[in-house]
Amino acid sequence: MAGPAIRAWEISRALSEEHDVRLVTFGRCTRDGVGFRAARTTVEAFREDVAASDVVIVQGFVFNAFAWLQECPQVLVVDLYDPFQLETLEVDRFKPAAERERALAFALGELRDQLRRGDFFLCASRRQRDLWFGHLSAAGRINPDTYDADPSLASLLSIVPFGTSEQAPSPQRHAIKGATPGIGPDDKVVLWGGGVYNWFDPLTLVRAVDRVRARVPEVRLYFLGMKHPNPDVPEMAVASRCRDLADELGLTGTHVFFNEEWVPYESRADYLMDADVGVSCHFPHVETEFSFRTRILDYLWAGLPIVSTEGDGFADLVRQRGLGRAVPAEDVDALAEALGDLLTDSAAADAARAAVAQTAREFTWPVVLAPLVEFCRAPRRAADAHRLTTTDPAAPVPVVVPQVGRLRALRSDAGAVWRHLRAGGLRQVVAKVRWRLARRR
């Protein structure tokens, strides 16, 4: 499972302790739920799934296919931990302009519908909260109803990050060291713990490893997941370029290794516990600014020192807590130095591991899911839900504006005419009247 599926799984597991939970997907489902039911659904059956529920939690692209969700009476929780409208800019970056425009319009349409209908929203960080407050405000959802119900707006939007297991990793075997041809039991493994997507920067990492090998000959870079488990997610351009660069530098099979299959969720500890350092590299753009790198949570869970590119919220945490090293984006020298230091300086690595272990406790699933668990104990429609009943779905949630008395309006207009007459004469008055009439068309 990739990040969104893992998150849905863990949310279902946490809520199943107090509620009857059913997790449905339109993709293939071969796992049995743990305390909850997990099943594949169909377009036809999804409406029945929703109708049989009191609370519905959605994430990703849903409303574009099921417009009737706008009218359903169920309490609707919208998980916004993945800002897909920004992600779309990178996913489709190398496609024709017209195709990119269509993809963005599709994403924005989905987002508009989610923001309009949701009763409770989840985000992953304080940075994301700022982003979504802006979107909610523009959508008319920050209004007297929602503000008076809770001036903090925490009852409308809460921070619910990605989490880690309460249980320590329990590896069953060595999946990398001594198990992958070219990687010995005593080699130093740098783990890229997830997929390779266009918004990541594996190329700088490969170049850095090319330099580190002179200082640490036993360094081995291992890419954990080159093939996404969702068949609808194609291999991205940067993954192909990463393979080409490793070949060009003569590193493939000696210092750089690619795992072509996606690792089963329950087996990931076998790989994580074979690593010495976890790494996350990305570019300095807006997707990075508001991202929440789920692979970092696995590094925390496994107690790995972390090397991360600057620019996202986790890089700030790495620097502030001493979890490893945060380096400038696309800086090969700085990245090589950080990796080399953590692979050769045992005291620095041990200090990072201790800080990681302390921080990991703050990100266990029971801790991070607390706002959602609390909401589901007493679910309710949003304070402004009554505004949604008679409005065009394409419009923002209406703002109720009291009517100004006729006499007061006439006085206001007369005062405006007098001011414009004094400032610019009759010509300015005529221009202002034309401007106001044009606005009403």
What pLDDT is recorded for position 234?
A: 60
What pLDDT is recorded for position 27?
A: 81
What pLDDT is recorded for position 232?
A: 57
Q: Around Cβ 434, how many Cβ atoms within 10 Å?
A: 10
What are the sequence ranges of the domains in the chain?
3-163+368-388, 188-363, 404-441
Name residues whose C-beta falls within 8 Å of residue 224's C-beta, 6 or more positions apart in sequence.
191, 192, 193, 194, 259, 263, 268, 271
- What's the rounded mean pLDDT across residues 174-179? 96
Name residues whose C-beta falls within 8 Å of residue 439's C-beta, 6 or more positions apart in sequence.
none
What CATH number belongs to 3-163+368-388? 3.40.50.2000
Whole-angstrom Cα distance, residue 308 to residue 281? Answer: 6
Whole-angstrom Cα distance, residue 199 to residue 83? Answer: 13
Write the CA distances from 435 to 372, 401, 408, 409, 430, integer angstroms: 48, 22, 21, 18, 9
What pLDDT is recorded for position 411?
A: 52
What pLDDT is recorded for position 334?
A: 98
pTM of the model: 0.80
- What's the rounded mean pLDDT across residues 56-70? 93
Whole-angstrom Cα distance, residue 69 to residue 393? Answer: 11
Name residues whose C-beta falls within 8 Å of residue 330's C-beta, 6 or more positions apart in sequence.
201, 204, 283, 284
E strands along 295-359, which residues?
306-309, 324-327
Q: Is the pLDDT of residue 287 over 60?
A: yes
What pLDDT is recorded for position 228?
A: 59
What pLDDT is recorded for position 424?
A: 53
Say which range, 117-131, 145-159, 225-239, 310-324, has the weakest mean pLDDT.
Answer: 225-239
Better-predicted residue by pLDDT, 92 or 131 = 131
Better-predicted residue by pLDDT, 252 or 290 = 252
Give pairs for 241-247: CB < 8 Å, separation 24+.
241/203, 242/196, 242/202, 242/203, 242/206, 245/203, 245/206, 245/207, 246/206
Percentage, residues of the chain above pLDDT 70 = 86
How sure is the predictor about 286, in pLDDT bands with cuts at 50, 70 and 90?
confident
Say which range, 176-190, 230-244, 358-372, 411-425, has the weakest mean pLDDT.
Answer: 411-425
What pLDDT is recorded for position 295?
A: 82
Percentage, residues of the chain above pLDDT 90 = 65
Whole-angstrom Cα distance, residue 69 to residue 75? Answer: 11
CA nearest neighbour of 190 among 123, 259, 272:
272
CB-count exposure of residue 48 (10 Å: 0-12, 13-18, 19+): exposed
Mean pLDDT of the chain: 87
What pLDDT is recorded for position 76?
A: 98
**Whether 164 contacts 126, CB under 8 Å:** no
What pLDDT is recorded for position 416?
A: 53
Whole-angstrom Cα distance, residue 313 to residue 292? Answer: 7
Instruction: Tell how far CA 56 is from the center of its chain.
Output: 19
Residue 363 has which token pair?
């990100």
What pLDDT is recorded for position 425?
A: 56
Whole-angstrom Cα distance, residue 11 to residue 14? Answer: 5
For the chain, the first-to-last Cα distance in angstroms comes to 52
CA nearest neighbour of 41 among 163, 53, 13:
53
**Whether 165 contacts 301, CB under 8 Å:** yes
What pLDDT is recorded for position 243?
A: 94
How sure is the predictor about 126, in pLDDT bands with cuts at 50, 70 and 90?
very high
Q: Is the pLDDT of residue 433 over 60?
A: no
Q: Is the pLDDT of residue 338 over 70?
A: yes
How sure is the predictor about 397, in pLDDT bands with cuts at 50, 70 and 90?
low
CA angle 82/320/280 to nearest 5° reads: 45
- What's the rounded mean pLDDT across residues 153-175? 93
Q: Is the pLDDT of residue 400 over 50?
A: no
- What's the rounded mean pLDDT across residues 386-406? 53
What CATH number belongs to 188-363? 3.40.50.2000
Instruction: Scan for tokens 């036809």, then name that residue.
Output: 44
- What's the rounded mean pLDDT across residues 133-153? 97
Better-predicted residue by pLDDT, 28 or 341 = 341
Q: Is the pLDDT of residue 318 over 80?
A: yes
Say which range, 79-88, 109-118, 132-141, 308-317, has the weakest mean pLDDT.
Answer: 308-317
User: What is the residue-wise DSSP string for 78-121?
Assistant: EE-SS-HHHHHHHHTTTS-HHHHHHHHHHHHHHHHHHHHH-SEE
**Whether 301 contacts 164, CB under 8 Å:** yes
